[in-house]
Amino acid sequence: MEKDSYIDLFSQKTDEELVKMALEDQDCFLHIIKRYERKLLSYIVRISGFSKEDAEDILQEVFIKTYINLNSFDDQLKFSSWIYRITHNEVINSHRRKKARPQCVLDLDNDFLANLASDMKTDKEVDENYLKKNIGEILGRLNEKHREVLILRFWEDKDYKEISDILKKPMGTVATLISRAKKSFQEELEKESVNL
């Protein structure tokens, strides 16, 4: 089998199929790593504010813990929710070790802004360029819970069920958190608009 067709075979597998394969052959775990490393690294940087090097260290720990606990994966959950949960916990553990408040470091893309703006009742007078330049600062002023649910919902494009699984909170609580986070973001945005 040629290398490209071998790789294509794995790219067509679901996460759950890859988990089963990795449990039988540890070399298959590499395909899980390849599928998630960029997504999770970006997620770590966005919610933690750590440098890329520190985020890579956390990511390494995430993959180690994922591999060690692969047998305990509950296939009633989505694998992506499970691995994001491990990542979330590892970022929290890292913050505890460093005893630092996370700073929001964002490499903004238009999808995030569009998703957030379409879901919120933002004042049409708010300049999109201003929002692009200052959204990281505005998100950085939100408490960690609010910042994280906005990132999960509007940047990572997770649905309420997935966010519930990641944060280990009931879906009603997730809905309330998202609503409060949007309100806090709106209030911070309005403060900025007044100061313009």
Confidence at residue 69, expressed as pLDDT on a 0 to 100 scale: 94
The average pLDDT across 9-24 equals 88
Split into its structural domains, the chain has a count of: 2
Helices (H) and strands (E) in the chain, counts: 10, 0
Say if residue 94 is in the same domain as residue 151: no
The average pLDDT across 61-87 equals 92
How buried is 136 (Cβ within 10 angstroms: 0-12 exposed, 13-18 middle, 19+ buried)?
Answer: middle
68 in a structural domain: yes
The model's pTM: 0.69
Dihedral of the alpha carbons of 95, 186, 159, 128, in degrees to the nearest 10 = -100
For 100-132, the pLDDT digits (tens) are 444 555 555 556 656 665 666 555 445 566 666
How buried is 62 (Cβ within 10 angstroms: 0-12 exposed, 13-18 middle, 19+ buried)?
Answer: buried
CATH code for position 13: 1.10.1740.10
Average pLDDT across the chain, whole number: 81
63 in a structural domain: yes
Q: Which two tokens stand for residue 179?
A: 């609503």
3 in a structural domain: no
